[in-house]
Copies of this chain bind each other. A is one copy, B any other.
Amino acid sequence: MEEIVENVPLSEILQRIECLQSLLVREGLDGALIFQNVDLYYYAGTIQSSILFIPSEGRPVLMVQKNQTRARAETCLDTVVPLAKGRGSMAEVLGDCGYELKGRIGLELDVIPAALYIWLSGRFERCRWEDVSSLIRRQRMCKSAYEVERVRRAARILDEGFRTLCRVIREGMTELEVDGRMALIARRLGHMGILRMRGWNQEMTHAHVLSGGSGAMSSFLNSAHAGEGTTPAMAQGAGFRRLGRNEPIGIDYAVGVDGYVGDQFRTFVIGCLPARLQAAHDLSFDIHRRFEDMAGPGVNCADLYAMALNEAERAGLGAYFMGHGEGRVHFIGHGIGLEIDEFPIVAPGFRKPLEPGMVLALEPKFVFPGEGVVGIEDDYLVTESGVERITLTDQTVMKVCSG
Contacts and interface: CB of A to CB of B under 8 A. Distances in A.
A45 B232 contact: yes
Interface stretch (A199-207, A278-286, A307-315, A357-365): A199-207
Interface residues of A, number: 83
Nearest to A217: B70
Interface in A69-114: 69-70, 74, 107, 109-114
A220 interface: yes
A220 B48 contact: yes
Interface string A110-139: 111111111000000000000101000000
A190 interface: yes
B238 A187 contact: yes
| Number of identical monomers bound together in the oligomeric complex | 2
20 contacts: A5-B229, A5-B239, A8-B232, A47-B235, A50-B220, A66-B326, A67-B326, A74-B232, A110-B113, A111-B113, A177-B184, A180-B183, A184-B184, A187-B238, A192-B230, A192-B233, A193-B237, A231-B259, A233-B256, A234-B256
A221 to B, nearest CB: 9
Contacts of A192: 229-231, 233-234
A37 interface: yes
B193 A205 contact: yes
Contacts of A70: 217-220, 235
A177 B5 CA distance: 16
A4 B240 contact: yes
A118 B67 CA distance: 32
Contacts of A176: 187-188, 190
Given A3-B240, A47-B201, A233-B259, 12 more contacts: A46-B232, A48-B219, A66-B326, A67-B218, A67-B219, A70-B219, A111-B113, A114-B117, A117-B118, A176-B187, A192-B233, A193-B237
A188 B112 CA distance: 35
Contact of A69 (B117, B201, B240, B326): B326
Contact of A177 (B133, B188, B194): B188
A261 B326 CA distance: 32
A30 interface: no
Contact of A41 (B45, B188, B232): B232
Nearest to A111: B113
A251 interface: no
